[in-house]
Chain A
Amino acid sequence: GENVEQHPSTLSVQEGDSAVIKCTYSDSASNYFPWYKQELGKRPQLIIDIRSNVGEKKDQRIAVTLNKTAKHFSLHITETQPEDSAVYFCAASQGWPNAGKSTFGDGTTLTVKP
Chain B
Amino acid sequence: DVKVTQSSRYLVKRTGEKVFLECVQDMDHENMFWYRQDPGLGLRLIYFSYDVKMKEKGDIPEGYSVSREKKERFSLILESASTNQTSMYLCASSKQGSGANVLTFGAGSRLTVL
Contacts and interface: CB of A to CB of B under 8 A. Distances in A.
A99 B107 contact: no
B103 interface: yes
A30 to B, nearest CB: 10
Contacts of A106: 40-42
Interface stretch (B20-28, B76-84, B94-102): B94-102
Interface in A66-114: 89, 91, 93, 95-97, 99-107
Interface in B63-95: 90, 92, 94
A26 interface: no
A17 B93 CA distance: 35
A89 B44 CA distance: 12
B103 A102 contact: yes
Contacts of A91: 43
B90 to A, nearest CB: 7
B62 interface: no
Nearest to B35: A104
Contact of B48 (A42, A100, A107): A100
Interface string A24-58: 00000000101010000011111001000000000
A28 B81 CA distance: 37
B16 to A, nearest CB: 30
A96 B108 contact: no
A95 B33 CA distance: 16
Contacts of A45: 105
Interface of A: 1, 4, 6, 9, 32, 34, 36, 42-46, 49, 89, 91, 93, 95-97, 99-107
18 contacts: A1-B59, A4-B42, A6-B42, A34-B102, A36-B103, A43-B105, A43-B106, A43-B107, A46-B102, A49-B101, A93-B101, A101-B48, A102-B101, A103-B59, A104-B42, A104-B43, A106-B41, A106-B42
